[in-house]
Amino acid sequence: MAESITTRAKDFAQWYQDVIRQGDLAENAEVVRGCMVIKPHGYAIWEKIQADLDRRFKATGHKNAYFPLLIPKSFLAKEAQHVDGFAMECAVVTHSGLRAVKDASGKVSIEVKNKLEEEYVIRPTSETIIGHFFAKWIQSYRNLPLLINQWANVMRWEMRTRLFLRTTEFLWQEGHTAHADHEDSLREVHRMLDVYADFAENVMAMPVIRGKKTNSEKFAGALDSFCIEAMMQDGKALQAGTSHDLGQNFGRAFDVKFQSKEGREEFVWQTSWGVSTRLVGGLIMTHSDDAGLVLPPKLAPIHVAIVPIFKSDDDKARVLEACVKVRDAAVAVGLVCELDDRDDMRPGSKHYEWEQKGVPVRIELGPRDVDGGVCVVKRRDRDPKEKTSVAIEGIGAVLTGLMDEIQKGLYERALAFRKAHTVRADTYDELKTALDGDGKIGNFVLAHWDGTAETEAKIKEETKATIRCIPFEHDGETGVCVLTGKPSAQRVIFARAY
Amino acid sequence: MAESITTRAKDFAQWYQDVIRQGDLAENAEVVRGCMVIKPHGYAIWEKIQADLDRRFKATGHKNAYFPLLIPKSFLAKEAQHVDGFAMECAVVTHSGLRAVKDASGKVSIEVKNKLEEEYVIRPTSETIIGHFFAKWIQSYRNLPLLINQWANVMRWEMRTRLFLRTTEFLWQEGHTAHADHEDSLREVHRMLDVYADFAENVMAMPVIRGKKTNSEKFAGALDSFCIEAMMQDGKALQAGTSHDLGQNFGRAFDVKFQSKEGREEFVWQTSWGVSTRLVGGLIMTHSDDAGLVLPPKLAPIHVAIVPIFKSDDDKARVLEACVKVRDAAVAVGLVCELDDRDDMRPGSKHYEWEQKGVPVRIELGPRDVDGGVCVVKRRDRDPKEKTSVAIEGIGAVLTGLMDEIQKGLYERALAFRKAHTVRADTYDELKTALDGDGKIGNFVLAHWDGTAETEAKIKEETKATIRCIPFEHDGETGVCVLTGKPSAQRVIFARAY
């Protein structure tokens, strides 16, 4: 069965699918084009992501609300860039009913009926419909800032889909805020980008680079988009979260006006920001290995799995008793612990299952361990042959310590990986070579760029790499564009991306 | 401003809308037919409902998952009753894109494009799509029972909509389970009905009657449907939750087979059960009064609102200091407390706002209170003129006690109301008179029925009342049908309903 996961070195894309299948995280819906079913173990990870982020949103003053799934078709046209960005990929609702029809042979078919006067689209994002309501809710500077978040499903009809990373329907949160001036809205844009970055690094154990998107990569309708970019284990970039400075674009499009302190009528300044189930894909590709899923303890639905080992019924009783003691100790320190006492499965298969589900710590406990008052501990982030014998007395504190170590260790390993695959390039040839890396694992390449869309497009066409972001952190070094030789204020990050 | 809520006696339907508007809970979306926007205060109540139910579902062994929003049109036809029940009200997705078109005058309009090969409907409920996946996931009795829950949005194109009670799109949870035999699936049906009933009574403080639906009122595709029914303050019934025995109907339709312990191939036995944002409507109509929203403490997003009262800056400092002390004491005992220190609003308006938002306890604190070491406490469930002076020292325990009292008191008041408006009728004339009640507030009427759909339909046509349920609890008295004189095994509950 171990063969059922392709190695990363052999075929990274296949490895990713195998890890998801063996971890029982999700599957393609097939009968609904480009959609997925998120299975219980995958959904449990998403719930943990949601809970942590939701707490952070509320702690920064945001309130959750819920807006309609459907958006009148005409709304999309109100912001010119927005319609260009999203119209092509909208699911369109044209009718409000079906009718069963029987043909002469008695076969039932279903006909579409009740054509709508105006079609609706299923929200690809909610700036337009929320803009409409903001216009009703905001009259004066006293109503500002208005800080709203929505947890919802959205649809974008994608041509090529991939579990978690790009699906026609996905789950996400979208923050939408309105402010009295640009200074305040920009502060919000950066505050939420920081919330995302902190969450990615401290909860997902996934290092990220903060930066600004180029004009060609920004959100359709924004003045500027900011992002966090992470490196996956194939050296490709994953855009993990975005925060947009919408300026007054949607305020103008939806007539969201307020009376300022000085009594003037002004358009509000808006932001929007979002992360999605795509994060689960990022989590998988950051930490997992050739044996399957690896999860950071802070997002693991199960922290510890205990597998009892025994042959005789006599042994069974004493072993299970000791297992319960370990489980209780784990639960007492706040960990979620699964005592795997299934009768119809061998210990080896159980271990294998918990390994593939990414449980951070697995414990084996047999009769000889009971005699010695110990249990055998295996860490998911280490070589599977590595085992430690740990006293049952005081195991709670040991497990807590292990969780911290694993959490920290995964982050450090991912950071070291990114550093090892981040290089500088000073010529176009260097850039091209550097992007390929060793042929298996690509690089993030820091290179100078002249700031034009033309150069960006040419490099993208020739190398398949995009500018992931103009990073906030840089050494201040100026230079000349690798393609055109024109001046450049700082290096940007080129990479191939998901 | 107090005039802005119509009294219940004057116009109950208008009162309901006014309470929602003044409580800032939700509003009609208007631009999206029959849909609503759930505003932050309303959504916070829904989040509390979700959190409590989700804990109960998990404690009874269920796991959350997520299935596609869209369902292939052909799926609906696989279960004959199901298509009859839902097809008429499905939103249909026929295209996957839009295109912006400019006419000669430069005006932009949006055209629908990319017709789909097979249309999809937006899920009105997910038995069909989940049935499809259950068939893939279930092979053997070892995979059973399979206990899944989904939190999701659904759409049913309704002709007449009403905030929370009946909207085209609504939020809900839908449990879907598969079992090896009917005994086990029936146990699940009743277990979840009990979970709903316990939640309704102990968390929502809303008494409910458990019972079975008649055949004409059951879920389209079920063998039997069970429900909890609550009485609103106008004497009408609200179906607050349902739990369905699906038998093998969907198992057969979607070919969900398993190998039994005895090695036979059999169809699974399924259940489904759900509650929705409709519960928020039930909560409002159970407890609120002519001054606005009243919330049971267990579902109140804010438990205590503190309004400081002062004139001079000197007083302000000492008053706010005392208010902070009260707030800290409330937070220390686990309550959510809002210290309303807004500068641009008078204390009266603040009180009025918290009253309309249903905050269970409001506290006033002025300079003389500070001198006396006390604060003035008002309970939302009592006459607004009733005030109690309470020592600040030890206020935490007092508030905890008040929350328990209010929670219990609201339940008892609602139960007493239902009892006062539940009557028996032994003739058809008595039934008709009893349904009307005093002309303002109707009754639940316990009457004998002959068990036929014809009688049920005739009574419904003539009285607008339906059989809400065949209650589990009854005194065993047999009798004769009020309409036909045919024998009846027990009284059923007739009422007009939402």
- In degrees rounded to 5, what are phi and psi of residue B289? -130, -170
* Residue bearing tokens 């499965």: A345
Cβ neighbours of residue A433 closer than 8 Å, sequence gap 6 or more:
A425
Cβ distance A463 to A451 under 8 Å? no
Cβ distance A390 to A39 under 8 Å? no
Cβ distance of A92 and B97 shorter than 8 Å: yes
Q: Given this model, what pLDDT does residue B168 score?
A: 97
Element (H, E) at B95: strand B92-102
Helices A428-436, A453-463: inter-axial angle, 10-degree rounding: 50
Q: What angle do CA B105, B109, B113 make, to 5 degrees?
A: 135
Q: Which residues pair with B247 in a beta bridge?
A: B270
Q: Count Cα atoms within 13 angstroms, Cβ side, for A436.
A: 9
Cβ distance A157 to A200 under 8 Å? no
Q: Given this model, what pLDDT does residue B384 score?
A: 85
Written as one letter, the residue type at A336 is: V
> What is the rounded CA–CA span in Å between residue A226 and residue A191?
11
The minimal CB distance from A91 to the residues B39, B93, B148 is found for: B93
pLDDT digits (tens, 9 = 90+) for B211-226: 999 999 999 999 999 9
pLDDT digits (tens, 9 = 90+) for B297-329: 999 999 999 999 999 999 999 999 999 999 999
Kindly report whether the peptide bond that precedes residue B145 is cis, defined as omega within 30 degrees of 0.
yes
Residue of B nearest to A132 (CA): B31
The DSSP bridge pattern shows strands A224-231 and A237-247 to be antiparallel
Residue B270 has pLDDT above 60, yes or no: yes
Burial A9-47 (b: 16+ CB within 10 A, else e): eeebeebbbbbbbbbbbbbbbebbbbbbbbbbbbbbbbe
Residue of A nearest to B82 (CA): A100
Cβ neighbours of residue A284 closer than 8 Å, sequence gap 6 or more:
A16, A19, A20, A23, A25, A164, A293
Identify how many contiguous H helices and E strands chain A contains and give both numbers. 14, 25
> What is the rounded CA–CA span in Å between residue B229 and residue A102?
38
Q: With contacts defined as CB-CB under 8 Å, which chain B residues touch A36? A: 68
Chain A nearest C-alpha distance from B70 (Å): 7
Cβ distance A441 to A233 under 8 Å? yes
pLDDT digits (tens, 9 = 90+) for A18-56: 999 999 999 999 999 999 999 999 999 999 999 999 999
B66 touches chain A (CB under 8 A): yes
A74 touches chain B (CB under 8 A): yes
Q: Note the helical H segments in B182-312.
A: 182-202, 249-253, 278-287
pLDDT digits (tens, 9 = 90+) for B387-442: 999 999 999 999 999 999 999 999 999 999 999 999 999 999 999 999 999 999 99
Q: Kindly indicate the confidence band of residue B100, based on its pLDDT and cuts at 50, 70 and 90.
A: confident
Residue of A nearest to B149 (CA): A40
> What is the rounded CA–CA span in Å between residue A309 and residue A365?
6
Written as one letter, the residue type at B230 is: A
Instruction: Look up residue B124 and give its two tokens.
Output: 């009105």
- Classify A135 as helix, strand or coil: helix
B28 touches chain A (CB under 8 A): no
Of the candidates A439, A413, A495, the residue with the CA atom closest to the CA atom of residue A236: A495
The minimal CB distance from B169 to the residues A39, A68, A100 is found for: A68
> What is the rounded CA–CA span in Å between residue A23 and residue A292?
7
Instruction: Look up residue B121 and give its two tokens.
Output: 């409907």
Q: Given this model, what pLDDT does residue A124 score?
A: 96
User: Can you tell me the mean pLDDT for B223-240?
Assistant: 98
B120 touches chain A (CB under 8 A): yes
**DSSP annotation string for B284-315:** HHHH-BTTB----GGG-S-SEEEEE--SSHHH
Q: Count Cα atoms within 13 angstroms, Cβ side, for A169.
A: 23
Element (H, E) at B470: strand B466-471
Chain A nearest C-alpha distance from B329 (Å): 20
Cβ distance B340 to B367 under 8 Å? no
Q: What angle do CA B452, B457, B459 make, to 5 degrees?
A: 100
Cβ distance A194 to A226 under 8 Å? no
What sign does the dihedral B74-B75-B76-B80 (CA atoms) show?
A: positive
The minimal CB distance from B43 to the residues A47, A66, A77 is found for: A66
E strands in A188-311: 209-212, 224-231, 237-247, 257-259, 265-267, 269-276, 304-308
Of the candidates B46, B47, B5, the residue with the CA atom closest to the CA atom of residue B23: B5
* Residue bearing tokens 């303890």: A297
A301, A363, A402 from A409: Cα distances, Å: 19, 20, 10
Cβ neighbours of residue B90 closer than 8 Å, sequence gap 6 or more:
A96, A97, A98, B76, B121, B122, B124, B155, B156, B157
* Residue bearing tokens 């991912």: A414
A71, A107, A159, A230, B9 from B100: Cα distances, Å: 16, 40, 20, 35, 52
pLDDT in tens, chain A (498 residues): 445 899 999 999 999 999 999 999 999 999 999 999 999 999 999 999 999 999 999 999 999 999 999 999 999 888 878 788 888 899 999 999 998 887 888 777 788 889 999 999 999 999 999 999 999 999 999 999 999 999 999 999 988 999 999 999 999 999 999 999 999 999 999 999 999 999 999 999 999 999 999 999 999 999 999 999 999 999 999 999 999 999 999 999 999 999 999 999 999 999 999 999 999 999 999 999 999 999 999 999 999 999 999 999 999 999 999 999 999 999 999 999 999 999 989 999 999 999 999 999 999 999 999 999 999 999 999 998 899 999 999 999 999 999 999 999 999 999 999 999 999 999 999 999 999 999 999 999 999 999 999 999 999 999 999 999 999 999 999 999 999 999 999 999 999 999
Q: With contacts defined as CB-CB under 8 Å, which chain A residues touch B35? A: 68-70
Question: Reduced to 3 DSSP states, what percent helix, strand and coil does chain B have, rounded to the nearest 5?
Answer: 35, 30, 35
Q: Which residues pair with B99 in a beta bridge?
A: B111
Q: What is the 3-state secondary structure (H, E, C) of A395-409?
A: HHHHHHHHHHHHHHH
Instruction: Look up residue B164 and give its two tokens.
Output: 């929370």
The minimal CB distance from A110 to the residues B40, B87, B142 is found for: B87
Q: ipTM exceeding 0.95? A: yes
Q: Greatest CA separation found in chain B?
A: 84
Cβ distance B93 to A119 under 8 Å? no
Chain A nearest C-alpha distance from B27 (Å): 10
> What is the rounded CA–CA span in Å between residue A115 and residue B187?
43
Instruction: Look up residue B419 and give its two tokens.
Output: 């009892």
CB atoms near residue A380 (< 10 Å): 26
Cβ distance B351 to B364 under 8 Å? yes
Residue of A nearest to B132 (CA): A31
> What is the rounded CA–CA span in Å between residue B125 and residue B86?
9
Residue of A nearest to B112 (CA): A92
What sign does the dihedral A157-A159-A163-A165 (CA atoms) show?
A: negative
> What is the rounded CA–CA span in Å between residue A102 and residue A111?
10
User: Can you tell me the mean pLDDT for B350-376?
Assistant: 97
Residue of A nearest to B101 (CA): A77
- In degrees rounded to 5, what are phi and psi of residue B231? -100, 130
Q: With contacts defined as CB-CB under 8 Å, which chain A residues touch B155? A: 69
Cβ distance A23 to A45 under 8 Å? no
Q: How long is chain A? A: 498
Cβ neighbours of residue A182 closer than 8 Å, sequence gap 6 or more:
A247, A269
The minimal CB distance from B97 to the residues A64, A90, A95 is found for: A90
Q: Given this model, what pLDDT does residue A430 score?
A: 98
Could you tell me which residue, B352 or B102, shows the higher pLDDT?
B352
* Residue bearing tokens 């719930």: A47
Q: Given this model, what pLDDT does residue B55 score?
A: 98
User: Can you tell me the mean pLDDT for B93-120?
Assistant: 87
B44 touches chain A (CB under 8 A): yes
Name residues 373-432 of chain A within 8 A of B (Cβ): none
Cβ neighbours of residue B311 closer than 8 Å, sequence gap 6 or more:
none
Q: Kindly indicate the confidence band of residue B77, based on its pLDDT and cuts at 50, 70 and 90.
A: confident
DSSP 8-state class, residue A74: H
Cβ neighbours of residue A419 closer than 8 Å, sequence gap 6 or more:
none
Q: Kindly indicate the confidence band of residue B3, based on its pLDDT and cuts at 50, 70 and 90.
A: low
User: Can you tell me the mean pLDDT for B80-97?
Assistant: 88
Kindly report whether the peptide bond that precedes residue A145 is cis, defined as omega within 30 degrees of 0.
yes
> What is the rounded CA–CA span in Å between residue A307 and residue A348?
9
